[in-house]
Homo-oligomer: A and B are copies of this chain.
Amino acid sequence: MPSSDLAAPARDRVTVVTIARRAGVASSTVSRALNGDPRISAATRERIAAIAVELGYMPDALARTLSGGRSGLIGLVLGPVENPFYVAMLEEVVAQAAARGLRPLILHLGAQAIEAETMRALQQYRVDGCLVTSARLSSDIADLCGRRGVPVVMLNRVTRLRASSVSCDNLGGAAEMARFLLGQGHRRFALVGADTASSTALEREQGFSQALAAAGLQPLRLSGGNSSWLGGYAAGERMAALPPAERPDAVFAVSDIMALGVMDALRRHGLRVPEDVSVAGFDDIAESARPTYALTTVSQPLVPMVRRGLDLLLARIQEPDLPDEVTLLRGRLTLRASTRERPPAA
């Protein structure tokens, strides 16, 4: 027989019923066998499993969900991805979620406001839980999820909202950076912040300036607009324009992406890093490790952060009444060539 059915007739879906008929058992038996119900005899289990494989059976996640189970879908609400840190986070989330059998459904991505349509999707698809990385968008989502009993975990954000959160110890990390720079002999500091309402940026600013205050110092504050390379670049230009006597000998930007902008601006205006100015950041994005930047920074423990975030989320999916929980993970100082020791002032 030719059997050249290349244009395969979209063969009908293989379901538990198909298998049940083939095996001469009830569909419920098939379901149980395939799900490892201990009550099914080893013999039937194996027979059914064999048929399932032979027929290329794939359980239907939707039907399974409808019948009372979990969807296996987690909603992702992501802020702007201009900052590579969030891209790295997304990558890590996708990898770890897959390893746990969860599928990430992108509900939102970008700086703009959340649309009503998005909020709808959250409910219509029965996401088991939500992972949120955006500060600005968090309240709407957290609100809705709270009402619908969908657990929410915020990554890289602390919040007073009804949600759990995992983030770096921003205060402590920034303070450690300040102390490190002080120890290197720097005395004139600039602090490049971001105007966003993000807890992250705020805490880092605080941590840094508090640690300086403890040494009786106060940084020159440069606002960098939103947390972006361009924001950092603008701040760097303003810094380069200062009269040499007023120029800081160390800058700390609240995010790496801004620190890179600062560095580029300084160099472009003839200042050397680190010879003339030390530059430091926070996050440890991949770009910071490039030889051309070699940025000293506070490394965020990305992998553990995501792991913890998923732990929290899964725990609340299984046990919806668990109280919200806030996790802080300590960052690690990563020293590179963008900072250098300053000899005591002549």
Report yes or no: A233 in contact with B290, Cβ–Cβ below 8 A: yes
Q: Which of B65, B76, B149 contacts A10 (CB 8 A)?
A: B149
Report yes or no: B58 in contact with A126, Cβ–Cβ below 8 A: no
A66 adjacent to chain B (CB < 8 Å): yes
A38 adjacent to chain B (CB < 8 Å): no
Chain B residues positioned under 8 Å from A124 (CB to CB): 58-62
- What total of chain A residues lie within 8 Å of the partner, measured CB to CB? 54
Report yes or no: A125 in contact with B106, Cβ–Cβ below 8 A: no
Report yes or no: B106 in contact with A106, Cβ–Cβ below 8 A: yes
Number of copies: 2
Q: Which of B8, B106, B268, B320 contacts A104 (CB 8 A)?
A: B106
A61: nearest chain-B partner, CB-CB: B124
A238 adjacent to chain B (CB < 8 Å): no
The 0/1 profile, CB within 8 Å of B marked 1, for residues 36-78 of chain A is: 0000000000000000000000111111011000010100100
- The minimal Cβ–Cβ distance linking A99 to chain B, given in whole angstroms, is 8
Q: Give Cα A82 to B118, complex, Å.
A: 27
- Counting chain B CB atoms within 10 Å of each CB, which of A230, A286, A292 scores highest? A292
Report yes or no: B66 in contact with A63, Cβ–Cβ below 8 A: yes
Q: Give Cα A82 to B108, complex, Å.
A: 21
Chain B residues positioned under 8 Å from A76 (CB to CB): 106
For the complex of A and B, the 6 pairs showing the least CB-CB separation, nearest first, are A61-B124, A94-B109, A58-B123, A264-B292, A62-B62, A104-B106
